[in-house]
Amino acid sequence: MSKPATTPFLPYARQSITDGDVQAVIDVLRSDWLTTGPGVPTFERALAQAVDAKEAVACANGTAALHLALTALDVEPGSVAVVPAITFVATANAARLVGMEVVFADVDARTGLMTPESFEDALRRAAGKPVRVVLPVDLAGQTPAKVEIAAIATRRGITVVDDSAHAVGSAYEADGAWHPVGSARHAAMASFSFHAVKNITTGEGGAVCTNDGTLAARLRLLRNHGLTRDAADYVTDEGRNSAPSWYYELVEPAFNYRLTDFQCALGVHQLQRLPEMRTRRAALADRYDQALRHMAPVVRTPVRVPNCRPCWHLYAVHIDFAAAGRSRQRVVDIMRAHGVGTQVHYIPVYRHPYYQRHGAPTRLPGAEAYYAGTLSLPMFASMRDEDCDRAVAALARALSA
């Protein structure tokens, strides 16, 4: 497939950066504070407000957010985290980094989301080991059954930490009200990523949202080496009686997971644009749904989860490659030759050799079926209608070539 593309390559995902975004960063670069300045709490307040959480703690990336969240829970090494099999490796890795065992939950074969039933099944497979945490993933921007999953977790004394890396801007309905993803109504904490391909970006970046002030304080401590400058926290006589101006105390050794002020400024500006970017992503999803309808049943459009208003992070179709008589690699290659990028989200995490060694070997039918058919088509806020049509045409050609 050497036919050169005549139009610029259309990637599967791309950041959307305006002149206003650029100016916000430049303004900070010319200010006194590149990091640990006033821009950090400004971004944290804006994010907390946008997702209707009491607290947002900004950090270096989404993996750091998950690591901070699990570290803040003081889980016993050897206890279990339940992680859906279809996610980015970071969800499971964060649990391993705090010494937890990972038990993978199966997912719905059409949505890729963990379900209350697959969560219960994972709990049975944990076989008596103490399960401390579950990490539901808002795959592609859609939400799993948060109320039911939280109810199961609460009954078992399991803490819910949402991996909402895909879903800033999404909302779900529960108990007659709409809740923004990140509001942590049905979780102790929710983590975000602001990597360049995510719904909003700070280049690299992340955050943990929570309604628990004690947890938020701990997350801020852990993000900054475990150092406190808050006199109320001091335990030594020097600190308590006459703390000098340079004084600080080490509470516990921790990380430097800070986000810079210029990244936070970009984040504030991107957040202002989030409603408009969500609308654009929704319009693209609708356009894809229409344009792909005639390719059913070989190509099936994403199943829309009820009670969810997604900010579509991915537009992942399900393709019956056997019926099409084309391998996925061939479809990917032909589309690429026509200038259209695609991606596969994700290889079931238990398939990685590391997780084959660390954990009971698993093959989960829902995750295998999801993985076998999934292909993410281009989806990003700055995509034009023509780009969407070009992706559909490239897919049609790849399947009929």
Ligand X SMILES: *Cc1c(COP(=O)(O)O)cnc(C)c1O
Q: Which stretch binds ligand X (CB under 6 A): 124-132, 163-171, 218-226, 315-323?
A: 163-171
Catalytic residue, candidates 3, 129, 146, 198:
198
Active-site annotation holds for 198: yes
137 is a contact residue toward ligand X (CB under 6 A)? yes
Closest to 247 (Cα-Cα) out of 261, 259, 263, 233: 233
Mutual angle of helices 19-29 and 261-292, in 10-degree steps: 160
Among 39, 70, 71, 88, binds ligand X (CB under 6 A): 88
Beta bridge partners of 208: 57, 191
Answer whether 132's CB lies under 8 Å from 160's CB: no
Question: CA–CA distance from 300 to each of 109, 285, 322 (Å)?
Answer: 12, 13, 14
Answer whether 350's CB lies under 8 Å from 87's CB: no
List helix spans (H) across 243-384.
261-292, 321-324, 328-337, 353-357, 365-373
Q: Return the number of the residue (234 or 312) whose C-beta is nearest ligand X.
A: 312
91 is a contact residue toward ligand X (CB under 6 A)? yes
143 is a contact residue toward ligand X (CB under 6 A)? no
Answer whether 349's CB lies under 8 Å from 371's CB: no
Q: Which stretch binds ligand X (CB under 6 A): 23-31, 149-157, 158-166, 356-364?
A: 158-166
Q: Return the number of the residue (65 or 284) whose C-beta is nearest ligand X.
A: 65
Nearest to ligand X by Cβ — which residue?
Answer: 62
> Is the sign of the CA dihedral 263, 40, 279, 376 positive or negative?
positive
Among 106, 163, 261, 387, binds ligand X (CB under 6 A): 163
Q: Return the number of the residue (48 or 140) whose C-beta is nearest ligand X.
A: 140
Cis peptide before 297 (omega within 30 of 0): yes
Closest to 183 (Cα-Cα) out of 172, 194, 193: 172
**Tokens read off for 289:** 């749904």
Among 96, 146, 166, 220, binds ligand X (CB under 6 A): 166
Among 51, 165, 291, 311, binds ligand X (CB under 6 A): 165
Q: Return the number of the residue (51 or 394) whose C-beta is nearest ligand X.
A: 51
Q: Return the number of the residue (90 or 332) whose C-beta is nearest ligand X.
A: 90
**From CA 325, how far away is CA 322, in angstroms rounded?**
5
- Helix/strand/coil for 343: strand
Q: In whole angstroms, how close is the CB of 82 to ligand X at the nearest point?
A: 15
315 is a contact residue toward ligand X (CB under 6 A)? no
Q: Return the number of the residue (51 or 165) whose C-beta is nearest ligand X.
A: 165
Within 10 A of 227 (CB to CB), how many other CB atoms are there?
13
How many of the chain's residues bind ligand X (CB under 6 A)? 14
Answer whether 288's CB lies under 8 Å from 255's CB: no
Among 15, 193, 199, 201, binds ligand X (CB under 6 A): 193
Q: Which stretch binds ligand X (CB under 6 A): 61-69, 240-248, 379-387, 389-397?
A: 61-69
Site for ligand X in 203-222 (CB under 6 A): 206
Q: Which stretch binds ligand X (CB under 6 A): 59-67, 243-251, 302-310, 368-376?
A: 59-67
Answer whether 208's CB lies under 8 Å from 59's CB: yes
Answer whether 147's CB lies under 8 Å from 175's CB: yes
Q: In whole angstroms, how close is the CB of 267 to ligand X at the nearest point?
A: 13
Q: Return the number of the residue (159 or 193) whose C-beta is nearest ligand X.
A: 193
How many separate helices (H) and strands (E) can be counted in the chain? 14, 15
Q: Which stretch binds ligand X (CB under 6 A): 86-94, 106-114, 211-219, 260-268?
A: 86-94
Q: Which stretch binds ligand X (CB under 6 A): 87-95, 111-119, 149-157, 382-390?
A: 87-95
Q: Return the number of the residue (169 or 206) whose C-beta is nearest ligand X.
A: 206
Within 10 A of 320 (CB to CB), how many other CB atoms are there?
15
Scored b (16 or more CB within 10 A) or e, 275-302 reads eebbebbbebbebbeebbeebeebbebb
90 is a contact residue toward ligand X (CB under 6 A)? yes
Q: Which residues are catalytic?
A: 198
Binding-site ranges for ligand X (CB under 6 A): 61-63, 87-88, 90-91, 137, 163, 165-166, 193, 195, 206
